[in-house]
A and B are shown apart, each in its own frame.
Chain A
Amino acid sequence: MSGAEKIAVRVTEVAPLNELVTRFRFEPVSGGLLPTFSGGAHTVVEMRDGDITRLNPYSLMSDPFDRSAYTISVRRDDEGRGGSKFMHTNVSVGDEMVISNPVNLFSLDLRATKHLMIAGGIGITPFLAQIKQLDRAHGNWELHYACRSEALGSYVDYLTTTHPNDVNIYYDDQSQAIDLDTLLDGQPLGTHIYVCGPKGMIDWVRAKAAEIGWPREAVHYEEFLAPQPGKPFEVKLAVSNKVIQVGEQESLLEAIERAGVDAPYLCRGGACGQCETDVVQAEGEIIHRDHWLEDSEKAGDAKIMPCVSRFEGKVLVLDR
């Protein structure tokens, strides 16, 4: 079976933080300890919604050294395919769920002399775990956290109370913005940047850092893409000799899995590269939506990341 190992858990807390964000706490059904993880790791949560099974990645935000439970925070996205909405409306205390072992695609580079964290909105969650990890190691870090408004500023109170000197908050509705030029100028050698938030923020930080000569190895980012709905299409799986239909609301990866074909995956958000699949034939347009393939690969149409990318056209044959 593909993906990381699975863990059966029970929901032991559902805590709404504000209008959009709710925190969930998972404890192992077996009563034992959960695997340890490192700050920045995520878990893939299985959501059984009638006939549909959704698998969505969420950053672990609890203390990496606390093995009694994991916590995640889910932002409700009413425009999405329903995963976050399912968490908000269908999950309650006492429910049993299945989550994956933690996987980290956004880990701290512990060679860094300083960790400069930049968060936008719900992108704060991996930093909550990283900060706990760094505090234990007496790490040198500072956080710059932009949120829409005070009402939607998840964990702002917690962060500013526990780390008043290291946390800087910016509210969009008060016209506060991160002054990136000043922030990046003069950072000591060995500083690493970590950015998690909307795509626009990630692109902005990466472009500015490259422009003033930061090595790309010192700029880390994570953005999980949710698979977007799109026009239904047909795919032929050459190895399994199956023809499958991808529905409007499901991803290509989900459709492959529904057909009983075991396809590799890890993050299911276009970031990790695990599900990379060779395209045997494509007559039409592959709609690449991942962060994994290089632009030249996307132009070549020889590879596809089925977790987030789709297809529009006549024939698509995959080596799967």
Chain B
Amino acid sequence: MSKFEFPPSIKSRPVWGTLEPRAGKHHLMIADAAGAEAILGIATPELMAGTHIIYIPRGADHADALRAQNPAQFYEGPTYAASVSRIRRVLQDASMGLQVYLTGTEGLMGQAMHEAMQAGIPHTAIQTEHRGSVARRMQCVHCKGITEDVETDPFVCSHCGLNLFVRDHYSRRLAAYQGVCIDAEDPGNVPEPKGIYE
């Protein structure tokens, strides 16, 4: 699957990279859906011997291909929320030299990056690669509620029901983009929703 080229944007918008194997004693790879393909792209027997993979398929069927790489540990989680306690435990027990690789959707990478940063890894030392859906995890700046997997702009806040404009303004702390009311001055005057990158 080809990778999506995000258009250039403001400085706040994260720029995702391309995974590469790095020197380190332990490797933690966290992926959802099509992110598995990025892991398969760098997997070697030597790397996998020291790797713990946490994978959230979200309907994709890459789990067997990942398992076949013989990682030191493999965990398949139903959702990110169900996997986060395991991610925290792995980071809590880890020592310096751990390499973190995040790949898949922006929501997955952002939330897992927040956990790794909380555990003490500088965000610039965490590798990322975007794969799959370009949907965003959005925070409503008015009610602070998070709406996952937003694909259109504008969209309706799943918490307070306001019509929100999708901004590129991003928070690493919240792992979310900012959604701002689009019809505050002229209630009801809401443009037709279209894809975020259309």
Contact = CB atoms under 8 A, between A and B. Distances in A.
* A, B from the same assembly: yes
A178 B97 CA distance: 19
Contact of A187 (B22, B95, B122): B95
Nearest to B118: A190
Contacts of B25: 185, 212-213
B124 interface: yes
Interface string A210-250: 11111111100000000000000000000000000000000
Contacts of B95: 185-189
A279 interface: no
Nearest to B94: A189
A116 to B, nearest CB: 9
Interface in B1-55: 22-25
Instruction: With a 10 A CB-CB cut-off, give which of B24, B96, B125 has the most chain A CB atoms.
Output: B96
13 contacts: A185-B97, A188-B96, A188-B120, A189-B94, A189-B119, A189-B120, A190-B96, A190-B121, A191-B96, A191-B120, A213-B25, A213-B96, A217-B125
B119 A190 contact: yes
Contacts of B96: 184, 187-191, 213-214, 218
Which 10 pairs from chain A and chain B are nearest by CB?
Answer: A190-B120, A213-B24, A215-B125, A217-B122, A213-B97, A187-B96, A189-B120, A186-B95, A189-B94, A212-B97
A215 B23 contact: no
Interface string A109-137: 00111000000000000000000000000
B121 A211 contact: no
Given A186-B95, A212-B97, 19 more contacts: A111-B120, A113-B120, A184-B96, A185-B25, A185-B95, A187-B95, A189-B98, A189-B121, A210-B23, A211-B23, A212-B24, A213-B22, A215-B121, A215-B122, A215-B124, A217-B124, A218-B96, A218-B122, A218-B125
B128 interface: no
Interface in A167-193: 184-191
Interface string B93-130: 01111110000000000000000000111101100000
B166 interface: no
Nearest to A213: B24
A114 to B, nearest CB: 9
B120 A212 contact: no
Contacts of A111: 120
